[in-house]
């Protein structure tokens, strides 16, 4: 009887698994087509100076508008893009598009997420260099957001890549800080400029005194190492107040602004940075 159940269970999961694999294959195929068909676009989420309330930079976030399936979240297609290697051409397009947009907004910086698979690609440094050269963006205005995971596999190679990126003049941020392993040693040993504190810790601020203490500890670590600190996923006034009180440099989250299409940025900048709003006709 148990054997029968076991077999039933097996075939049930087997079928579900086959469906998943078929679905993933279809999505990868459609992604390959979608990249050239212009189905991908970028939104930008402002990062605010905690004290001044001005926008210091924006983070590029990729979106996929599928002609039949509708909007697909990055959490659903980035892993497939990584597995299939499509993240390399997609990532190149993201870098170029984001840099081209940033040239139109000279008062702020741009940050771009780099997947671990892109990071391991031999051509990453050349790709970044080409994006800067082709768009004319000053390297110091580009920040690359890298997760701790990339540092796990081949520490020496990771260091060489980070050093070469650093030599281009771009800034390096450690994204989702605190969600990986051995974060502390990475911060000391690698040339990062910015810590982005993961949303998990920011939401913990409202929960308990301990949650607040963890964020304070990360902020003092950043300060001791001379790094700039950014809080991700700020959703409440009390989180913002606590981060300001503890001298977190930058805040980002739905409380301040959701990711927006580029046409919306001039208006947001006009409001936050007191710059003349010349409209967004030139941004796309």
Question: Under the criterion CB under 6 A, does residue 175 sit at the interface with ligand C2E?
Answer: yes
Q: Which one of the spans 1-9, 137-145, 184-192, 262-270 is the region binding Mg ion (CB under 5 A)? A: 137-145
Site for ligand C2E in 248-277 (CB under 6 A): 253-254, 259
Which CB atom, from 115 or from 127, has the smaller least distance to ligand C2E? 115
How many CB atoms are located within 10 Å of the residue 1 CB?
5
* Nearest approach, Cβ of residue 256 and ligand C2E (Å): 8
Question: Under the criterion CB under 6 A, does residue 197 sit at the interface with ligand C2E?
Answer: no
Determine the Cα–Cα distance for residues 119 and 139; give it in Å rounded to an integer.
Answer: 18
Contact of residue 259 among ligand C2E, Mg ion, none (CB under 5-8 Å per partner type): ligand C2E
Question: Under the criterion CB under 6 A, does residue 10 sit at the interface with ligand C2E?
Answer: no
Tell me how far CA of residue 27 lies from CA of 64, 71, 72, 96, 156, in angstroms: 11, 13, 10, 24, 35
Helix (H, G, I), strand (E, B) or coil at 206: coil
Tell me how far CA of residue 129 lies from CA of 139, 156, 166, 182, in angstroms: 9, 21, 11, 30
* Nearest approach, Cβ of residue 172 and Mg ion (Å): 12
Asked if 249 contacts 171 with a C-beta cutoff of 8 angstroms, the reply is no
Question: Under the criterion CB under 6 A, does residue 99 sit at the interface with ligand C2E?
Answer: no
Q: Which one of the spans 2-10, 100-108, 109-117, 186-194 is the region binding ligand C2E (CB under 6 A)? A: 109-117
Q: At what angle do helices 87-103 and 124-135 cross, to 10 degrees?
A: 30
Question: Under the criterion CB under 6 A, does residue 60 sit at the interface with ligand C2E?
Answer: yes
How many CB atoms are located within 10 Å of the residue 114 CB?
26
Among 31, 34, 40, 45, binds ligand C2E (CB under 6 A): 45
Question: Under the criterion CB under 6 A, does residue 113 sit at the interface with ligand C2E?
Answer: yes
Which CB atom, from 11 or from 284, has the smaller least distance to ligand C2E? 284
Helix (H, G, I), strand (E, B) or coil at 158: helix
Q: At what angle do helices 74-84 and 2-37 cross, to 10 degrees?
A: 90
Contact of residue 254 among ligand C2E, Mg ion, none (CB under 5-8 Å per partner type): ligand C2E
Which CB atom, from 34 or from 253, has the smaller least distance to ligand C2E? 253
Q: Please state whether 250 falls in left (phi above 0), alpha (psi between -120 and 50) or beta.
A: beta
Which CB atom, from 235 or from 275, has the smaller least distance to ligand C2E? 235
Q: Which residues of 213-247 are buried (b: 16+ CB within 10 A; e: fewer)?
A: ebbbebbebbeeeebbbbbbbbbeeebbebbeebe
Determine the Cα–Cα distance for residues 269 and 252; give it in Å rounded to an integer.
Answer: 14
Question: Under the criterion CB under 5 A, does residue 145 sit at the interface with Mg ion?
Answer: yes
Which CB atom, from 66 or from 275, has the smaller least distance to ligand C2E? 66
Question: Under the criterion CB under 6 A, does residue 127 sit at the interface with ligand C2E?
Answer: no
Interface residues with Mg ion (CB under 5 A)?
113, 145, 175-176, 232
Interface residues with ligand C2E (CB under 6 A)?
45, 60-62, 73-75, 78, 91, 94, 113-115, 145, 175-176, 199, 232-235, 253-254, 259
């Amino acid at each position: 009887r148990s054997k029968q159940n076991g077999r039933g269970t097996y075939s049930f999961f087997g079928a579900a698994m086959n469906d998943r694999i078929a679905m993933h294959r279809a999505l990868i195929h459609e992604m390959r087509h979608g990249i050239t068909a212009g189905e991908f676009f970028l939104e930008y989420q402002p990062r605010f100076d905690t004290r001044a309330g001005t926008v210091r930079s924006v983070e590029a976030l990729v979106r996929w508008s599928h002609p039949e399936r509708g909007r697909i979240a990055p959490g659903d297609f980035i892993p497939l893009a990584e597995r299939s290697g499509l993240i390399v051409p997609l990532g190149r397009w993201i870098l170029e598009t984001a840099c081209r947009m940033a040239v139109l907004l000279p008062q702020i910086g741009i940050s771009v997420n780099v997947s671990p698979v892109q990071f391991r690609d031999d051509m990453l440094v050349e790709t970044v260099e080409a994006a800067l050269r082709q768009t004319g963006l000053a390297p110091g205005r580009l920040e690359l957001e890298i997760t701790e995971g990339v540092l796990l596999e081949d520490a020496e190679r990771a260091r060489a890549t980070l050093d070469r990126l650093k030599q281009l003049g771009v800034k390096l941020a450690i994204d989702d800080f605190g969600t990986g392993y051995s974060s502390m040693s990475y911060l000391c040993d690698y040339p990062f400029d910015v810590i982005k504190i993961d949303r998990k810790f920011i939401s913990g601020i409202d929960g308990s005194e301990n949650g607040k203490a963890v964020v304070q500890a990360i902020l003092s670590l950043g300060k001791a190492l001379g790094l700039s600190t950014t809080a991700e996923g700020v959703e409440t006034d009390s989180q913002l107040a606590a981060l300001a009180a503890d001298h977190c440099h930058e805040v980002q989250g739905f409380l301040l602004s959701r990711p927006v299409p580029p046409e919306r940025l001039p208006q947001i900048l006009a409001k936050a940075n007191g710059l003349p709003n010349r409209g967004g006709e030139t941004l796309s």
